[in-house]
Amino acid sequence: MSIKRALISVSDKSGVVEFARALADAGVEIISTGGTKTLLEQSEVPVIGISEVTGFPEIMDGRVKTLHPAVHSGLLAVRDNAEHQAQMQELGLSYIDLVVVNLYPFQETIEKPDVTYEDAIENIDIGGPTMLRSAAKNHAFVTVVVDAADYGQVISELQAEGDTTLETRKRLAAKVFRHTASYDALISGYLTEQVGETFPERLTVTYEKSQSLRYGENPHQQAAFYRAPLAERGSLPTAEQLHGKELSYNNIQDANAAIAIVSEFEGPAVAAVKHMNPCGVGIGASIYEAYRKAYESDPTSIFGGIVAANRPIDADTAQMLNEIFLEIVIAPDFTTEALDILKQKKNLRLLRTGVQPTPEARRAAWQYTSIAGGLLVQETDVHTLQADKLQTVTSREATESELEQLQFGWNVVKHVKSNAIVLVKDGMTVGIGAGQMNRVGAAKIAIEQAGEKARGAILASDAFFPMGDTLELAAKAGITAVIQPGGSIRDEESIQVANDYGIAMVMTGVRHFKH
C-alpha cells in the first residue's frame, strides 16, 4: 500500500499549499474543489478538478460536488476485498488514499452578532463531513486529515515509507469523528435554540481542550481544562494569562467563582475567594478602595487566595496586592506600572479578561453537573435583585443606607455555598458563614468572624429562616437589618423576632441555594 491519490478540500487553508506541494513532490496525484483548487493552481501545485473525477460539474453553488459514487467508492472500497476490487475495475473507478478536509465555518458564522438564520444554514457543510466519515470508517486503508497540525506527521511518514502507519490512521480517524461530532453538536444546539426547545430528548454538547492540567483537585486525579466553543467574552476561558505558573484545577474553579461575584456589581468591586467561597468582598469609589475593603474583610483567609476585580488594576492597588501571597489576580486589564509591580512575583498568575464584567453583560447559560451515570442541567443563576421588588415585612423600614448594604449583601450571599449567611457593613463583608448543615450554624460562624463589626451590620441569608433562632442570634449581635427570600411556613415567627428587636427585614421572594 502507498498513498498515490489525495483529495484536498479545505475551508481553513492554513498550511495547505505547503502540504499539497510536499504531496506532489512525493508523486501523489491531487484532486481538489472550488477555492482550494484555485489556490493550489495559483501556487503552481499540480491539481485536477473534482469534475474530472466524477464526470459531473459542481452545481448549486458548490452544494453538490463530492457527493458522487466516484468519490465515495474510492474512499470506502475495502482494498483486500476481491469483490470490491472487481467492482472498482469494472466501473473504471480509482482509489482515494488520502482525504484532507476541514468544514464550512459554522461556528465562526454563528458567533457573528448580526448573523441571520439563512446565513447560518448556508454554512452547514454536507459533503465535507460525508467524505470525512467515509475515509475515517475505512481507516484501515485511507488516511484522513482534518487538522493542519497533523500535516507534518503525514508528510514525514509518507516520505519515509510511502504511506502512514495503521496506528496513525486510527488516531486520525478518531480525531475526525470527534471533529464531526463537535460540528454536529454545534448545529443541533443552534437549531434547538432557534426553535425554542429547552430540554430536548437528547443533549449533545461540545467543548474544546484548552490545556492539560498537572492534576485535579488532588494529585492522584487526572484533569484537563476545556472551553465552550462559544465561550462568553469576559469569562475565564477567554481570559489571557499575562504572567505566572500554569493554572491548576482548583485555581480555575476559584477564579471562575471570583469572576462571577464581581460581575454582580456596576461600580468598582473586588472579591477574594478560597475554595470557591468568598472570604472577602468589597465595593468602593475606586478599585483600590474596593480591594482594601476586601482584604480587611478577612486578612487571614485571603492569604493564598484568588482576587478578582471588575476594573483595571492600577499601580497603587498592585502595590497593596503584592504585600501578601496570592495565587491569582484577575482584572479586565492592568496598567503598565501595575504589571511591573505584580510581575516581581514570578509565580503570581495574572489574568486579563479584556472586558469589564457587568450585570448587563451576563446572560443565562446552561450549567452542567455530572453525577454517576448522568448529568444535571440547569440555567445559571443570573437573577438580579430589583429594589422595587423588595417587600418590607417588619414595622421598621430599612433606611436608605441599610437598603444599599442589603443589596450588596444579597449580591454576595448568592455566591456562598449553602447554608449561607453574610454580614456586610460599609461596603465590605465582615462575616461569612458558608456551607453549614443548618442556618443558625452559618450565622454563628459569620457573627463570630465579624466580632464587634457585627454591631450595626446587615445580614443576608440565601434562603428563608425555618424558625426565629437565627434572628435572635442576629439581634443579640447588633444586626440592624436583614434580607432573606421568605416563604417559610414560620415566617411570622422570624418577623415577630425582628419587630421585637427593631430590626428592619425585607424579603426578596427569590432564594439562592448553591450546592
Residues with catalytic function: 137, 275
What b/e readout covers 302-340, taking b as 16+ CB neighbours within 10 angstroms? beebbbbbbbebbbbbbeebbeeebbbbbbbbbeeebbe
Going across the sheet that includes 143-145, the strands are 48-49, 29-32, 5-9, 98-101, 143-145
**Are residues 291 and 312 in contact, defined by beta-carbon separation less than 8 angstroms?**
no
Identify the H or E element spanning 377: strand 374-379
**Grid coordinates given for 104:** 464550512
**Are residues 429 and 280 in contact, defined by beta-carbon separation less than 8 angstroms?**
yes
Closest CA to 154 of 24, 144, 293: 144
Any idea what the Cα angle at residue 5 is, between residues 4 and 11, rounded to 5°? Answer: 140
Contacts of 124 (CB under 8 A, 6+ apart): 104, 106, 187
**Grid coordinates given for 21:** 506541494
CB atoms closer than 10 angstroms to residue 360:
9
Q: Give SS3 for 5.
A: strand
Contacts of 131 (CB under 8 A, 6+ apart): 7, 9, 66, 71, 72, 75, 99, 101
Distance from C-alpha of 75 to C-alpha of 95, rounded to nearest angstrom? 6
DSSP of 423-455: EEETTEEEEEE-S-SSHHHHHHHHHHHHGGGGT
Which region holds residue 20: left if phi is over 0, alpha if psi is between -120 and 50, else beta? alpha
**Are residues 79 and 97 in contact, defined by beta-carbon separation less than 8 angstroms?**
no
Distance from C-alpha of 469 to C-alpha of 493, rounded to nearest angstrom? 9
What b/e readout covers 450-482, taking b as 16+ CB neighbours within 10 angstroms? beebbeebbbbbbbbbbebbbbbbbbebebbbb
Distance from C-alpha of 483 to C-alpha of 396, rounded to nearest angstrom? 13
